[in-house]
Amino acid sequence: MIAQSESAAPATVSRRRAAIAKIHRLLKLESPVRTEEVNLATRTVFRQKGRRQDQALGLTSALKRQIIEACPNDLQGLRDRALIALGYDTLCRRAELVQLQIDDLMIKPDGSGTILVRKSKADQFGDGQLQR
């Protein structure tokens, strides 16, 4: 854990530690991350670097407009503009956006519409959720 602390963020070290523990549990082996040495090393990493993660900046309306205007006027640019606008308006994650199909879009006579998000982080079993 100490060796990883020089190059990896504390959250990465914790995630790797959890993965090692999970693999050992699945294989019904004693977990090497439960030792006192690993606990001390992990606490040392947190003490040196802290636990708080930097929050990514949110996409504002002004920034969205700038990104859309920067897209080229070709087919890929049109696709990118549509995905940026759709992602902003629906709050979909990128994995949800790339799974969308044209049949998932339902446009109403008044110009509004709904989008069927078939599977999401909050819907692991794919029951589907309508975004308005």
Can you give the pTM of this predicted structure? 0.56
17, with CB counted inside 10 A (0-12, 13-18, 19+), is buried
Q: In what order do the strands lie in the sheet with 113-117?
A: 105-107, 113-117, 129-131
Highest mean pLDDT among 15-19, 24-28, 52-56, 92-96: 24-28
What are 50-109's pLDDT values in tens digits?
Answer: 767 777 788 899 999 999 999 999 999 999 999 999 999 988 888 889 888 989 888 999
Buried/exposed 33-43: b ≥16 CB within 10 Å, e otherwise: beeeebeebbe
